[in-house]
A = this chain, B = another copy of it.
Amino acid sequence: MEHRIEQIKKQLHAQNYKLTPQREATVRVLLEREEDHLSAEDVYLLVKEKSPEIGLATVYRTLELLSELKIVDKINFGDGVSRYDLRKEGAKHFHHHLVCIECGSVEEIVNDLLEDVEKIVEKDFGFEVKDHRLTFHGICRQCQGAVVKATQ
């Protein structure tokens, strides 16, 4: 935890940004909920629990800044809000997601999986890939089980 905070502090300083108490509180929430996919409002409410004086606009600005620095990735699962996802330590690319169309659960895949596809994109389409967003929509393991149960 403290190690990642230090690391992020360095990344901010490298671009002449400060790690203000508000920014640190925001980062801490993201670290504590690393598996989750929080909206700006979600983050705001969680930060507020420990730092009640923080403003919503500050959270938005902080998340925007962290996105620019590639510390978090902004993603939209189609439910009308942007969600913010801490990039895995040392990861070059954003990780992938499995969204269940039955229960809405979101699972993460940290394996790269796209190396071959990216080679094709670079060669056949002349496109220099910097990052990607890959989301699968389907039925999660639990919901598959539920269907089997229901039809028995």
Count residues of chain A with CB under 8 A from any CB of chain B. 34
Residue of B nearest to A130 (CB): B138
| List of B residues within 8 angstroms of A130 by Cβ | 101, 137-139
A111 to B140, CA, bound (A): 26
Q: How many copies does the complex hold?
A: 2
Among A98, A111, A128, A136, which residue has the most Cβ atoms of chain B within 10 A?
A: A136
Interface pair B113/A120, CB less than 8 Å apart: yes
A21-63 residues with Cβ-Cβ distance < 8 A to B are none
Among A76, A130, A133, which residue has the most Cβ atoms of chain B within 10 A?
A: A133
Question: Known pairs A113-B117, A134-B135. 13 more at Cβ < 8 A?
Answer: A98-B121, A98-B127, A111-B120, A113-B120, A113-B121, A114-B117, A127-B141, A128-B138, A128-B144, A129-B138, A132-B135, A132-B137, A133-B137
